[in-house]
Amino acid sequence: MAEVDQKLEPFRLRNHAALLITFDGLDGSGKTTQIMILEERLRKLGCAVKTTSDLNSSKIGRRIKEIVNSSSTSSDKVSDLLLIHAARTINLQEEILPALSSGKVVISDRFQASTYAYNFVGRGAPAPLYYSLEENILDTVSPALQIILDIGVSRKNERILKRGGVVEKYEKMGHAYFEKVRQAFWDYAAKHGAVVLDASQDRDSLSETIFDLVNQRLIKDD
């Protein structure tokens, strides 16, 4: 019989544990790539996995994304915050909560940390409104593991330029805005126990670190 990798065994012992894992960070930090790697690795171990995104997983979410990111719309900081919260609430009800209820590991591409960094701190949305909406979300579901991929603003810009495609509204806000957003992710991590990882390291090293974190969480919650 083939030798079993002992590091992987806890996933089998957990028997498809329901966990919410969130990925946040600046665009260009590699979130999508790391989510795909983690999803594939978990599936190979027999875990039931659901990947999701507030602004991509539903027709309404995609329409909200168009409104929020379009340079031709006049939505302000309050409107954007409310729209993003609406998309998250819909995604919770339609995607995240049903998946958790069925015992799946749910991996979300962006969650509350991004709203805090981009909309509350970055754009200066009103504190009472933001914290009221945050409380509503976190009272509904609490992520088991929050991962923030940290990358310098200049490096982020290089990756996005290389990637090509349409430059969305938020990407036009300038260096100072993104420095503020980057620092806000660190502040959020300190307040909420999120794990900040260096996204400038090579892809495989980063994916291994992420896998170890997920593995530790599964053992802890067993």
In angstroms, rounded to a whole number, what is the distance separating the alpha carbons of residues 147 and 30?
Answer: 12
Q: What is the pLDDT along the chain (222 residues), one digit of tens a residue?
A: 333 334 433 333 344 457 999 999 999 999 999 999 999 999 998 889 999 999 888 888 889 888 887 765 666 899 999 999 999 999 999 999 999 999 999 999 999 999 999 999 999 999 999 999 999 888 889 899 999 999 999 999 888 888 875 566 777 788 999 999 999 999 999 999 999 999 999 999 999 999 999 988 876 555
Q: Are strands 105-109 and 49-52 parallel, antiparallel or unpaired?
A: parallel
User: How far from 19 is each of 55, 68, 139, 218, CA to CA, in Å?
Assistant: 21, 29, 16, 8
pTM of structure? 0.87
In angstroms, rounded to a whole number, what is the distance separating the alpha carbons of residues 54 and 49?
Answer: 17
pLDDT, residue 57, reads 86
In angstroms, rounded to a whole number, what is the distance separating the alpha carbons of residues 190 and 184?
Answer: 10
pLDDT, residue 153, reads 94
pLDDT, residue 139, reads 87
> What is the number of H-type helices and E-type strands within the chain?
10, 5
In angstroms, rounded to a whole number, what is the distance separating the alpha carbons of residues 191 and 206?
Answer: 23
pLDDT, residue 108, reads 97
HSE-up (13 A, CA, CB side) for residue 48: 13
pLDDT, residue 73, reads 60
pLDDT, residue 172, reads 77
Q: Are strands 145-150 and 49-52 parallel, antiparallel or unpaired?
A: unpaired
Question: Which domains are seen in the chain, by residue range?
Answer: 16-220 (3.40.50.300)
